[in-house]
Structure 1
Amino acid sequence: MVWLLLFYVKNGANLISYLTECTYCLHIIFRIFVPSILTEITAAKVDSIKLALHYNMLDEEDETKNNRIARFLRYMEVRRLQHKVWRVIPVDLQLPLTVFSMCITYLIVIVQFTHLYD
């Protein structure tokens, strides 16, 4: 993707090629950022639900309701909400930064190799 943009710049491509490649880049960036942001929003909502349940447990006088709330809170602790890609890469706000870092690293390597063969 980045290599193709550099190739277009070197060969003097037309405006349509630039716009097409930039649109594709924005599409990829959108597909990386949106799941990460939605996962973080969902995690924040889960934390607020846990906090509300803890407050409800403090205010509740019925022992059976307290036991049910405590059991549900333990269940939420054991079965945490987390999304992973291929059960390896966690989808959180760290994912876009990791992908961006990897792209910059590969861009540097590509630029160094292109200077090697000139």
Structure 2
Amino acid sequence: MEYVLQKAGVIFQYDSRITLVSYLSRTIQVEGRDYAFRKIKGSVLVDATGINRENNHINIATAERAFLDLLYLNKNFYFDNLNPLKKEILFSLVPMYQSKTLTQSLAKLLKND
């Protein structure tokens, strides 16, 4: 998630970990690189909306999906720049989380932006 958001210019802090969503939470290290798996509800995990399949068969979230996943997992996360995000896409994706808290957090962040 953070990798996608760094690449999109939404967050500026560097994090060498690769963060993924999963059915469980854990961190593993492979060849010196940390992979952090974050538990997310099953219905969100299997929903491919906002996920792009790269030519190398790796699935990677759009900036909007990564933003909502991270906000869902950490409502107090600080985002440096919301301008790269497309608001209409955010509002079309947020119902899949079925979370009033996420919807309210999104509205508050976009209002303050």
State the TM-score bracket (shorter-chain normalisation): under 0.3
In terms of fraction of residues, the more helix-rich structure is 1
In terms of fraction of residues, the more strand-rich structure is 2
Larger RCO: Structure 1 or Structure 2 (Cα < 8 Å, ≥ 6 residues apart)? 1
TM-score (norm. length: structure 1):
0.19
TM-score (norm. length: structure 2):
0.20
